């Protein structure tokens, strides 16, 4: 993550916990939590009989599970190859208004992606705060 995010997290934690946190401390703690999650996950996925327990595993697992993937094409033996058509195809020759519509559509899509990204960042920050509260 970028440095600004860690500074913001440190400021938020410092104001809520009445204790001084630095951006470097927060980043180091996050890396340690991430490393522990990966170790526990790898151990639990192995064929070992005893599963490791970790109090933050569920919260970290929610953060690190991948969202649904929307593939551009699917193939099965039942239906064959299904190729998804793009939402709108832009002809090779189009007028100035079509270009403006296309530009607005792209700008709106970029804005939607930005809003989604910011929502995920807010969710990450909230979960990180919960983890720190449990400490």
* pLDDT reported for residue 68: 57
Distances (CA, A) of 62 to 57, 59, 65, 94, 120: 9, 5, 6, 45, 12
Between residues 107 and 77, the one the model is more confident about: 107
pLDDT tens by residue, 46-105: 866 788 888 988 888 888 876 554 555 566 666 655 565 655 554 545 455 777 787 888
Answer whether 0.75 is exceeded by the pTM: no
* pLDDT reported for residue 100: 77
């Amino acid at each position: 993550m970028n440095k600004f995010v860690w500074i913001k997290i440190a400021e938020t934690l410092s104001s809520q916990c009445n204790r001084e946190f630095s951006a470097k401390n927060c980043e180091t703690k996050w890396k340690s939590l991430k490393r522990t999650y990966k170790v526990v996950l790898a151990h639990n996925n192995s064929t070992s009989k005893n599963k490791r327990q970790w109090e933050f595993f569920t919260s970290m697992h929610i953060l690190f599970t991948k969202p649904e993937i929307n593939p551009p094409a699917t193939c099965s033996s039942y239906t064959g190859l299904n190729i998804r058509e793009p939402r709108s195809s832009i002809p090779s020759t189009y007028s100035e208004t079509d270009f403006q519509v296309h530009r607005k559509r792209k700008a709106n899509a970029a804005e939607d992606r930005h809003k989604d990204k910011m929502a995920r960042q807010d969710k990450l920050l909230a979960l990180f705060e919960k983890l720190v509260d449990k400490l």
